[in-house]
Amino acid sequence: MAEKKKMSVADILAAARKTDGGSAASEEPAQAESAQAESAAAPVENESAADASPKPTGTKSTGKAKPAKSASGGRLSVAEMMAMARGEKAGGTAEKPATKKPAAGKPKPAAKKTAAAKAAPAEPRDTASILAAARKSSKAGPMSKAEAAAKEKADPKAKAKPKIIVPPMPSKPAYAMPTPAAAKSKSKGAGQEERRDFLWVGFGALAAVTGIWSLASLKFLFPNVRREPPSKFKVGFPDAFPAGQVQTKFKAQYGVWVANAEYNGQAQIYALKSVCTHLGCTPSWLDAEQKYKCPCHGSGFYKDGINFEGPAPRPLERCAIRIADDGQIEVDKSRIFQEEMGQWEDPSCYIPV
């Protein structure tokens, strides 16, 4: 049982077939001798019986069965082989030399199957256990490092890689050789080539359609909707903004505060964008503390928009503001003035009071 590796079902069956074929070919007197052969002399077909008692399905052991098997081409079905293995077992010791001899006598023994079957206890077994017995060479399942080391020590050859024998490539037969005529037709472009060219028409059409479609879908990125309120809007007459007050009622709709307060000692009406210069949250005007306070990270701004606490790095931004022709204050959110850039000096970002 010097099995190097586990066998697959195919391997086992192939080995079994080989052994059967071999024993059938060789005329063995020992096999003819056996008592069971006599009892099973009747010309029973191989398929007939599968019970445990010795019978002609033990093809190997009967002289009579031999012709029958050779007639069927020396190949057996799986069921037959299993039954045979069982019969062999039942045959007991008398069978042993018989099975051994052909195995030893053959140039290629492949006797794994017979050897395994012989070693097994003499009782009927099912397919699974026979296959398992044939396969089993070592403990199943994972093993510890210690076990692996022990196994390696016991079987040092197991580590050696099996040699891979590559069969030589068969030479190209004459009919597969490229003929000068075929080469010529290829270069010329026969009818086949024209049909293939038509594929390109298809691909071209597909590409064109895809291109037009994707162009059409681009349009969906620019829907016919106005998402923003108009950037220019009127907030009322200047006398609606008493000194020192921050008007918060435009915040919800337009996102600006309009305040009348001093900046650098000069009283002005100005519009501050209600977007925190830290990360863009919306601060709230806290009247009690007289500051704009951001709820996200706690940045704080004075009434004139100058940052003084928290992480905001620069003052709030101003929007353009002017007195429109009708006397109302008009805020233009599209123009932004930043203090740190010195843009608050621009007269279009405040209305002097």
Tokens representing 109 are: 């023994």
Does position 286 interact with another protein (CB under 8 A)? The reply is: yes
Which DSSP symbol is given to 64? T
Does position 230 interact with another protein (CB under 8 A)? The reply is: no
Between 141 and 223, whose beta carbon lies closer to another protein? 141
- Tell the smallest beta-carbon distance from residue 88 to another protein (Å): 36
Q: Taking the mean position of all CA atoms in its chain, how far away is CA 350?
A: 62
Question: In whole angstroms, what is the distance from residue 345 CA to residue 339 CA?
Answer: 8
Does position 293 interact with another protein (CB under 8 A)? The reply is: yes
Does position 232 interact with another protein (CB under 8 A)? The reply is: no
- 100's CB contacts (< 8 A; 6+ apart) are 118
Residue 195: CA count within 13 A, CB half-sphere:
3
Specify the residue for token string 């790095």: 313
Specify the residue for token string 């028409």: 201
* CB-CB contact of 28 with 105 (8 Å): no
Between 236 and 311, whose beta carbon lies closer to another protein? 311
Between 185 and 248, whose beta carbon lies closer to another protein? 248
Classify burial at 288, counting beta carbons within 10 Å of its beta carbon; exposed 0-12, middle 13-18, buried 19 or more.
Answer: exposed
- Of residues 105 through 164, those in contact with another protein by CB under 8 A are 141-145
Q: Which of 30, 49, 110, 296 binds another protein (CB under 8 A)?
A: 296
Question: Site for another protein (CB under 8 A): how many residues?
Answer: 35
Between 294 and 320, whose beta carbon lies closer to another protein? 294
Does position 253 interact with another protein (CB under 8 A)? The reply is: yes
Does position 248 interact with another protein (CB under 8 A)? The reply is: no
Between 82 and 294, whose beta carbon lies closer to another protein? 294
Give the number of other Cβ atoms within 10 Å of residue 71's Cβ. 8
For the chain, how far is it from start to end, CA to CA, in angstroms? 109
**Which helix (H) or strand (E) is 169 found in, with range?**
none
Spell out, one character per residue from 297 to 336, where the chain touches another protein: x when CB under 8 A holds, - when not: xx-x-------xxxx-xx----------------------
Q: Give me the residues that bind another protein (CB under 8 A), please.
A: 141-145, 251-253, 255, 274, 277-279, 281-284, 286, 288-289, 293-298, 300, 308-311, 313-314, 340-341
